Amino acid sequence: MDLDKKQCHYCGKSILGRVDKKFCDDYCRNSHNNQRRIGDSPDVRNIMAYLKINRNILESILVDGVEKVKVPKERLQRLGYYFKYHTHTYINWKGNVYTYSFDYGFVELEDGWILVVRDLGDNSSKTANRN
């Protein structure tokens, strides 16, 4: 592709620089992405916000590289966790249901306790049940 003929995806100006460059500057890149997101319904934006909040809460509980930790369910409630929203569930071979917000999840234990876990990405032997 000839560099002179590359055009910005947002404003149409000529682009100079890397071969894979799509926008002439940060303003056009940001404007393009913002305009694309406006198409999402308010419900979708709200649910994505709740999912991100949930993930951040679970991530904040697992600190210093810890893979899993047992906490009271009340702690998640106090931190503002939205139990209604999650990305997927996973049922292990024992029948325990893990509820995930992206790569962080939890399983409910007895007496109001929750085991918070981080998915390490080895899903080769797992089957996710989408809810």
Per-domain residue ranges of the chain? 3-38, 42-129
- pLDDT grade, residue 43 (50/70/90)? confident
- pLDDT grade, residue 1 (50/70/90)? very low
How far apart, in whole angstroms, are the C-alpha atoms of residue 59 and residue 68? 10
For 74-85, write each residue's pLDDT tens digit. 999 999 999 999
Q: What is the largest CA-CA distance in the chain?
A: 67
Q: Is 89 left (phi over 0), alpha (psi -120 to 50) or beta?
A: beta
